Amino acid sequence: MNQISVGDTSAWTVIHGASVAAPFLRAAYAPSPCAGDLVEDQIDLFLEGTPSQLTTALSLLEKTISRSQLHAQGGYPYFQMLRFQPESDGTYYYCPINNPYLTFNASGYKTHHTGSLQVTLHFTRPNWFDSDPIELPLTNRNGEDVTGGIALFNHTDAHAGHDSSVLIKPDHIESALPAPLRFELENTHPTGEVQDIFTGLYHHPTNDEHDIFFCQSPEFMGGSLLYSPDAINEYYRRLIWSSTSWTDLGSWTLINTHVRLFSGRTFRPILHLYNSHLYNDLYLKIKLLKGSLVLWEGEAIYADPSYQYLIFPPVRIPPVSLLNENLPHHIDFAFFAQRHTSGTHQIDVDNLLLLPLDTSASFLGFFTLMEEAVLVDDSFFGKHNIRYPTLGSEAVGHLRQGGPLLLYPVEYNRLFFVQTNTSHQVDILRTSTLKAYYRKRVRLL
Amino acid sequence: MTHALFVSFLRRDFSGPFLPAVRLAPERLSWSAFGGPDQSIILAHGQIENLLELTSTLRFPVHIHDHQNTPVWWGFVDEVIIFLEDVQVKVSLVNLYNRVTIQYSFISPDNKLADQLETAPINNPQSQSEFGIKETMIHETDLDENFANALRDTFLSLHAWPFSELSQRSKPGEVYAQLHCSGWFKTLAWRNYKNLEGFYANYGPGPGVFAFGDANTHRYVGQSFQPGANVNLKYVYFRLRAEASPSTSLTARLHSQSSGYPGSLLATSSAVPASQVNGSKYAWIRFTFSTPVALSSGTVYWITLNPGGVNASNYFYIKTDENMEFSQLWRHGAYFNQSTGAWYPLPSETAPGTKPDLVFRFVCLSDTGLQIATIASAGDQFFEKILGLTTGIQTSPFRNNGYDCLKEIEALMKAGTSNKRWVLATVTSERFLKFYEQPDPDEADVYIDSKSRFFTKHQVQLPSYLPPVGRYARLAATTRVSLPWDRNRIPACFIESAAYFPTVDKLIIAKHSSS
């Protein structure tokens, strides 16, 4: 090991190897074996120097401990970490340390004043080590392997540049374990502000296409297809019914090659409406059908009329595991609606996104994201905020739901975004730019 | 990561601080949406003689606060247990009672129930001035008056001061003390609640019936009564039977009193078709005042019944009570003779010349929020202020079950509000008792992550020792729960109660025991 340090990004203290300074002499570290996500671990530190140097070093270690405790309470901004550099000029790897404390060798109280000391730093750490962030080249129809920011639209259709997702190629993720993602999403739209943002990641060894996630209205079976230049792909479906019972409004067919690509993963269907509806007693639900056979039925959702989109319960596609010896059967993704009020009812359906939940996060805004403001989400630090470049400041503006966003190495990863404005609309012409970073994650240094 | 919490005491009369010569550390704190700070256990270490001094802290106010002096938990010392080497000593307020009443039944020589009586309450004023009034009503059967009084006096003598208990420890151990503390809300159980207003009734049993609506000489019937509090009349009931097939509609009417009989008309109930009155047997018939009518305390009122016409073949009978069992002594029934234009006392077959009552029920309603505040005021001994609410739910305020104020209030809290939500309560650190409506589940305002940390919707972390009890929480650890779409599939979770263990910084969310 070329070097081991302790501290945080504001200040590092080398405790082993290159550039180590008295009284720190060396460190002995044998990572504890563990199958779980958290490891109870320790590192032995050997110190030699004047009693004054030793006292200063111990104060420094105690400061690290107190900063870690303060960080846990939100009173200090940085993780306390161990930093490892396996080889000279090589990559640094970090692990946050929690619940740290020091113990001393039995004769420490004597040797402290004669110039040597052995102390053990005990701590809990994640069962992995992460590198510094590395910018990811991003690909969609606005550019290939773009760094420095790629353009996003707030919908995906056949028109040039209308992409709401980015692809990350397998070659660009060098990590032994799923790697934490950091993204920076800048609002570049001159009008309106962003309220909520939904993200999701999908990974697959071979699939680099986005078509399977977006179901467009021309392919919907049911209702009438209507033209509008303002609709996604310029068409939407008008679905009309009059029963007060649950009524089948129609379906999209997920062909068997697509079902195979969904791989039994879970998706959150987000249905975009061309127009908001006006009903305060409308419920919808999804059924996965094989012909008339119901393979899976979701819970009904209340279609709040103040929203121009509907989010359905997570659905696994296909709903049960298959042997995978043949192509899976195709599935009809069917919509059912119910209003208890009698009369003729109508909704205008624009498109459906199957938002992947491999790893995902929702950002529910209590501050809006104005033009040029940047939503930053860092799954390594487990923090997010809004950055205001013109003001040079940052603030937390969203309640974040979901776990860390992780990229799967040696696979195609696709990152999706859905942005809503303060009127609960997915304003489809909204634009933004995206930068993304990852940290290599390894179990063994 | 544990948090330092600090314990402080006030003297029993809140006059100033009490500084025990022991080391104190909270071991467990709990809160409930139905009362705020609920229970706590505080550990004390020190010299034996100083630990024993803690027995004098019963009913001392306790405050627990964090390093920034933010109040975390507050209440009073309910029980002290001193663990000595081999023995433990417990002193407790749990079985202390300094006001006692016996409710008893009396059996006659022929072994039949003769009467049900209540002794006068007996008090221990010294104990009451020290700890507050803590009353109990003991229910016994087959007693006479002397026996009941002796039982009451002995019970008071044995329970007027803190109860102590000596026992052996299961195995010798460390010398320390445990202070078991309760929240102030629990002190509402120290007083019983009775309200004989708002429900006026005479069930008879009679004898007596009176025909009316059969002739002008029997045009209307009525009953007087006198509320002892300001109430709102909603329903009146009479026991009626139809003769033949009257086709009229009946109405009940509220009058003021004039010269001892019904005077000015104040309100009229909704009409009840005569077809609803049974022709073969007497049944309770309800008359409803669509808008409750305000009645003033101390004013005599009459409720009269108008048969809707006179018909010699098709008319009504009403049950009367010639035994005059109605508890209001000077109130009675009457009938109106249209031929003379005057009201007369109802006739009595068994005791001519007396003034029989009708058999009736008059039901008044009030907002349950007002009732909660009234009962809380009746049970209040330690609160600085009581802050109520309007629930929009109207029920009878009458109470005569011998229940304590806490039980009565908890029942009303569960009855909820017109928004179909519970009434919640908390006691602030200033001892303000505050009742409020359970939040809207669609407006969940706290989130919990996978590490059991609570956040506000603005992502501000709440300390684990200040749990969001009485609020709705949602999971922040997953995107699979999203408002408003998942409100039926995975509703927000109401946090009814929580317990915090400071030594391990562990918060346990639990369901309130009474829900």
Q: What are phi and psi of B286, to 5 degrees?
A: -100, 135
**Beta-strand pair B493-494/B497-501:** unpaired
| Residue B293 near residue B266, CB atoms below 8 Å | yes
- From A92's Cα to the closest Cα of chain B, the distance in A is 28
Partners of B486 on chain A (C-beta within 8 Å) are: 301, 313
Q: Do B458 and A399 touch (CB under 8 A)?
A: yes
| CA-wise closest residue to B508 among B444, B477, B465, B447 | B465
CA atoms within 13 A on the CB side of B248: 20
- Render the burial of B369-400: b for 16+ CB within 10 Å, e for the rest: bebbbbbbebbbebbeebebbebebbbbbbbe
Which token pair is B340? Answer: 């003379």
**B273 in the Ramachandran plot: left (φ > 0), alpha (ψ -120 to 50) or beta?**
beta
Q: How many whole angstroms separate alpha carbon A364 and alpha carbon A401?
A: 8
Q: Is A302 on the interface with B (CB under 8 A)?
A: yes
Return the pLDDT at B512.
55
> Average model confidence (pLDDT) for chain A?
94
Q: Do B450 and A364 touch (CB under 8 A)?
A: no
Residues written for chain B? 515
Q: What is the mean pLDDT of residues A110-123?
A: 87
Q: How many whole angstroms separate alpha carbon B334 and alpha carbon B318?
A: 12
* pLDDT tens digits for range B219-265: 999 999 999 988 999 999 999 999 999 999 999 999 999 999 999 99
> How many angstroms separate the Cα of A382 from the Cα of each of A95, A404, B95?
13, 7, 52
> Looking at chain A, which residue has its C-alpha nearest residue B455?
A399
Optimal mutation site among A385, A399, A415, A418, interface B, most CBs of chain B within 10 A? A399
Partners of B445 on chain A (C-beta within 8 Å) are: none
Q: Do A307 and B459 touch (CB under 8 A)?
A: no
Q: Do B476 and A200 touch (CB under 8 A)?
A: no
Partners of A99 on chain B (C-beta within 8 Å) are: 1
CB-count burial class (<10 Å; 0-12, 13-18, 19+) for A37: exposed
User: Which residues of chain B have a Cβ shorter than 8 Å from any chain A Cβ?
Assistant: 1, 447, 450, 455, 457-459, 461, 475-482, 484-489
Which of B1, B455, B479 is closest, CB to CB, to A362?
B479
Partners of B454 on chain A (C-beta within 8 Å) are: none
Please give the angle made by the CA atoms of A423, A424 and A426, to the nearest 5 degrees.
110
Complex ipTM more than 0.90, yes or no: no
| CA-wise closest residue to A74 among A398, A408, A382, A414 | A382
Which residue has tokens 């905020």?
Answer: A385
| CA-wise closest residue to B236 among B124, B318, B149 | B318
Name every residue whose Cβ is closer than 8 Å to that of residue B183 and which is 6 or more positions away in sequence.
Answer: B31, B32, B35, B36, B37, B38, B39, B74, B75, B427
Which of A73, A300, A403 is closest, CB to CB, to B477?
A403
* pLDDT tens digits for range A305-362: 999 999 999 999 999 888 889 999 999 999 999 999 999 999 999 999 999 998 999 9
Q: Is A37 on the interface with B (CB under 8 A)?
A: no
Task: Calculate helix-pair angle for B368-379, B405-415, nearest 10 degrees.
Answer: 160
Partners of A72 on chain B (C-beta within 8 Å) are: 1
Which of B476, B481, B485 is closest, CB to CB, to A399?
B476
* pLDDT tens digits for range A367-397: 999 999 999 999 999 999 999 988 889 999 9
**Beta-strand pair B135-140/B99-107:** parallel
Q: How many whole angstroms separate alpha carbon A67 and alpha carbon A73?
A: 10
- From A97's Cα to the closest Cα of chain B, the distance in A is 13
Which of B457, B475, B487 is closest, CB to CB, to A302?
B487
| Residue A310 near residue A287, CB atoms below 8 Å | no
Q: What is the mean pLDDT of residues A69-91?
A: 91
Which token pair is B8? Answer: 């402080």
Return the pLDDT at B513.
53
Per-residue pLDDT tens listing for chain B (515 residues): 566 899 999 999 999 999 999 999 999 999 999 999 999 999 999 999 999 999 999 999 999 999 888 999 999 999 999 999 889 999 999 999 999 999 988 777 776 666 778 899 999 999 999 999 999 999 998 888 899 999 999 999 999 999 899 999 888 889 999 999 999 999 999 999 999 999 999 998 879 999 999 999 999 999 999 999 889 999 999 999 999 999 999 999 999 999 999 999 999 999 999 999 988 899 999 999 999 999 999 999 999 999 999 999 999 999 999 999 898 989 999 999 999 999 999 999 999 999 999 999 999 999 999 999 999 999 999 999 999 999 999 999 999 888 999 999 999 999 999 999 999 999 999 999 999 999 998 888 899 888 888 988 888 889 999 999 999 998 887 877 777 788 777 888 899 999 999 999 899 997 655 44
| CA-wise closest residue to B500 among B69, B61, B42, B68 | B42
Return the pLDDT at B91.
96
Q: Do A301 and B486 touch (CB under 8 A)?
A: yes
DSSP state of B492: P
Torsion angle, CA of B181/B186/B192/B196, rounded to 10 degrees? 170
> Looking at chain A, which residue has its C-alpha nearest residue B488?
A301
Q: How big is the A-B interface in CB pairs under 8 Å?
A: 67
Q: Do A400 and B458 touch (CB under 8 A)?
A: no
Q: What is the mean pLDDT of residues A252-262?
A: 95
Q: How many whole angstroms separate alpha carbon B112 and alpha carbon B287?
A: 37
Q: Count the Cβ atoms, other than its own, within 10 Å of residue A120.
A: 14
Partners of B475 on chain A (C-beta within 8 Å) are: 401
CB-count burial class (<10 Å; 0-12, 13-18, 19+) for A132: middle
Q: Do A399 and B459 touch (CB under 8 A)?
A: yes
> Looking at chain A, which residue has its C-alpha nearest residue B476?
A401
Which of B455, B477, B485 is closest, CB to CB, to A301?
B485
Return the pLDDT at B515.
47
> Considering only residues 251 to 290 of chain A, which have any Cβ-Cβ distance to chain B shorter than 8 Å?
268
Q: Do A399 and B485 touch (CB under 8 A)?
A: no
| CA-wise closest residue to A308 among A354, A343, A271, A344 | A271
Which of B450, B479, B489 is closest, CB to CB, to A268?
B479
Please give the angle made by the CA atoms of B44, B47 and B50, to the nearest 5 degrees.
70
| Residue A278 near residue A308, CB atoms below 8 Å | no
Q: pTM for the complete prediction?
A: 0.80
Partners of A400 on chain B (C-beta within 8 Å) are: 459, 476
Q: Do A401 and B481 touch (CB under 8 A)?
A: yes
| CA-wise closest residue to B371 among B513, B201, B197, B184 | B197
Partners of B489 on chain A (C-beta within 8 Å) are: 299, 301, 313
Which residue has tokens 């048969």?
Answer: B307
- From A307's Cα to the closest Cα of chain B, the distance in A is 10
Partners of A200 on chain B (C-beta within 8 Å) are: 479
State the amino acid at position A295 in one-letter form: L
> Looking at chain A, which residue has its C-alpha nearest residue B457?
A399
Q: Do B488 and A301 touch (CB under 8 A)?
A: yes
Q: Do A403 and B482 touch (CB under 8 A)?
A: no
Which of B475, B479, B488 is closest, CB to CB, to A360?
B479
Partners of B458 on chain A (C-beta within 8 Å) are: 366, 396, 399
> How many angstroms separate the Cα of B160 from the Cα of each of B122, B129, B131, B152?
11, 11, 10, 12
- From A1's Cα to the closest Cα of chain B, the distance in A is 31
Optimal mutation site among A301, A401, A417, interface B, most CBs of chain B within 10 A? A401
Q: Is A398 on the interface with B (CB under 8 A)?
A: yes
Q: Do B479 and A302 touch (CB under 8 A)?
A: no
Partners of A74 on chain B (C-beta within 8 Å) are: 461
Q: Do B1 and A300 touch (CB under 8 A)?
A: no
- At B256 the three-state DSSP class reads strand
